[in-house]
A and B are shown apart, each in its own frame.
Chain A
Amino acid sequence: MIPPSATAHAGPRVTRPPGALVIEIEDVTKLYKMGAETIHALRGVTLKIHRNEYLAIMGPSGSGKSTLMNMLGCLDTPTAGRYEFNRKNVATMLDDELADIRNREIGFVFQTFNLLPRSDALHNVELPLIYAGLGKAGRIEKAQRALVNVGLGERMGHKPNELSGGQRQRVAIARALVNDPSIILADEPTGNLDSKTGEEIMALFEQLYAQGNTIIVVTHEEDIARHARRIVRLRDGLIESDRAVE
Chain B
Amino acid sequence: MLFGEIFRLAFASLTANKLRSSLTVLGIAVGVFSVIGVMTLINGMRSSIETGLNVLGANSFQITKFPPINFSDPWTRFRNRRDINSPQAERFKELMGDAAKVNLQINRNGLTVNVRERKTNPNVRLWGTDENYVTAFNFDVALGRNLGAEDVEHGRPVCLLGDEVVQKVFPDEDALGKLIRIGGQNYTVVGVLASKGTAFGGSPDNIVLTPITRFLAVYGRSWRSIGLNVQAPSQAELAETQERAIGMMRLVRGLAPEDANDFEVFSNESLIEAFNNIADIVAAGALIISAIALLASGVGVMNIMLVSVTERTKEIGIRKSIGAKKINILMQFLAEAVALSLIGGLVGVAFGVGGGNLVAFLMNTEITFPWLWTGIGLGVCGGIGVVFGLYPAWKAASLDPIEALRYE
Chain A residues in the interface with B (C-beta under 8 A):
70, 73, 75-76, 95-96, 99-100, 102-104, 108, 110, 114-116, 118, 127-128, 130-133, 175, 179
Stretch at the interface among B96-104, B111-119, B321-329, B352-360: B321-329
- Shortest Cβ gap from B327 to chain A (Å): 8
**The 8 residue pairs across chains A and B that have the minimum distance between CB atoms:** A103-B323, A131-B323, A128-B322, A99-B325, A96-B325, A102-B323, A114-B318, A75-B401
Which listed residue, A100, A104, A127, touches B319 by the CB 8 Å rule? A127
Which listed residue, B12, B16, B322, B405, touches A103 by the CB 8 Å rule? B322
Could you tell me if B321 and A175 are in contact, using CB atoms closer than 8 angstroms?
Answer: no
19 further A-B contacts with Cβ under 8 Å, apart from A76-B402, A131-B319, A131-B323, are A75-B401, A75-B405, A99-B323, A99-B324, A102-B320, A104-B323, A108-B322, A110-B405, A114-B314, A114-B317, A114-B321, A114-B405, A115-B318, A116-B315, A118-B12, A118-B16, A128-B323, A131-B1, A179-B323
Q: In whole angstroms, what is the CA distance A156 to B13 when docked?
A: 21
Residues of A within 8 A of B1 (CB): 130-131, 133
- Shortest Cβ gap from A90 to chain B (Å): 14
Task: Knowing A75-B401, A130-B5, say if A100 contacts B321 (CB, 8 Å).
Answer: no
Could you tell me if B328 and A131 are in contact, using CB atoms closer than 8 angstroms?
Answer: yes
Closest residue on chain B to residue A95 by CB atoms: B326
Residues of A within 8 A of B327 (CB): 96
- Shortest Cβ gap from A160 to chain B (Å): 11
Residues of A within 8 A of B402 (CB): 70, 75-76
Q: In whole angstroms, what is the CA distance A110 to B326 when docked?
A: 22
Q: How large is the interface on B (under 10, 10 to 19, 20 to 34, 35 or more residues)?
A: 20 to 34
Which listed residue, A96, A108, A130, A132, touches B321 by the CB 8 Å rule? A108
Could you tell me if B322 and A131 are in contact, using CB atoms closer than 8 angstroms?
Answer: yes
Q: In whole angstroms, what is the CA distance A100 to B326 when docked?
A: 11
Residues of A within 8 A of B16 (CB): 118
Q: List 11 A-B contacts (CB under 8 A).
A: A75-B321, A75-B401, A76-B402, A108-B321, A114-B314, A114-B318, A114-B405, A118-B13, A118-B16, A131-B319, A131-B323
Q: In whole angstroms, what is the CA distance A104 to B323 when docked?
A: 8
- Shortest Cβ gap from A176 to chain B (Å): 8
Could you tell me if A99 and B320 are in contact, using CB atoms closer than 8 angstroms?
Answer: yes
- Shortest Cβ gap from B258 to chain A (Å): 80
